[in-house]
Structure 1
């Protein structure tokens, strides 16, 4: 289909982009890699008066270290994230999950920041940000603010970003001493997850000392499986992990669609959590 008509701006800096967004108010949409916005435009599900293309802002690209934190520019493509040695070394869960995003063509164009700002609960990376305890940095007319991932996603396709704010970078604590695994159930290789589980595990002398479990597509936002995280402390074998995974779907609000019923998604959450934790903990 043909998208509706709109004005187009292509700022060269974050400051210029923020000024344009502030002037436009709620009538503007940000174009990053285009893998989320362009389909909405073609299907006429979005009607912006202005599209702000941030593709030429070089300061929004790249990966760097800041002490014990990785800083990833919002316009860094999935392909660049996946291949970056710092990400592989210090945020392996992100690299593993990014490899499952769509297909190579989408990964070469789609961006980390665009995926997160889109706030689709079926997307792989929002849940990964929760598991990694990431912070997302937004720039606005009054400066920058850091938003914990657990506070960033507020509803289906909605984040806390104001219309005049631009997501500029993602800050991820290094997780070198955690083992990890991303488990995803989907119908075909390029499809969104019917359910996904991002697991980080820290082992101790007596089994699992700490765990972080985040769920993809189990509600209108990504979710942490806190009951399972608590139950995993001290788990020292597959049986204990299986028992802890039984609580993975507690407190979730899975949807019903052509792919799955809520009950089936709850079953998948339990099964995939068990698999992800066993793999991350080296028990599988």
Structure 2
């Protein structure tokens, strides 16, 4: 979720662009970046963007291209964004978009899928993994959540108060539509509310999970990432399964795609290949990754 303009120059176009159909009939624009020489075989990394994002934005294209050094990459426009149909539901029905994209990645030949989400996309990858599990074709084999909210309805920072005001009013939704190309549903959530990111994380173990957050995030402070990691570890302990959750607290990192450095994206790519057993290098060195515990 980032209302700032993109900070990167355009990079190379993807190898392939398609339109996919979700289970509820929405059209999703998706792009495929072939793995670069030296990348591992069999793994596809699926990238879910943040609020106001699109796979076509320079920030997102730069991330996709950087990750293609490690594996094939599929990125997409969630509903209500870019050239996909519909309106964004702020992380609820977007799980169906990720379902369709992950299934396409499998159809293209992926034997393993790692989902990497930023901000709103970071919430979506957690919810998707919890709701689909590893028993379905769409399920992820590893999950990376970057700059995600840990719980809903947060208004503790100025950007989030502004966002809540915008999505709740016709004028604000008009500004988002015309100024940022993001079409927001006018339908408010009703109880029971969608499974929260932290609740979702509690259901993931023993799935490999990486939670990345910046200590200068102006949208969601560190309490959000720590709530996700605590829930993941508590869920593993409750079910008596392996805890494979990791937390990286990135010094100086602000929020989501526009703040992601090439070094951070490279380490995420290496973590993905290690998490699914494709690369003996495994995750980044703990000192370099600046991991912390909740």
* TM-score normalised by the chain length of structure 2: 0.29
> Which of the two has greater strand per residue?
1
TM-score by length of 1: 0.30
Q: Which has the higher contact order (CA 8 A, sep 6+)?
A: 2
Greater Rg by CA: 1
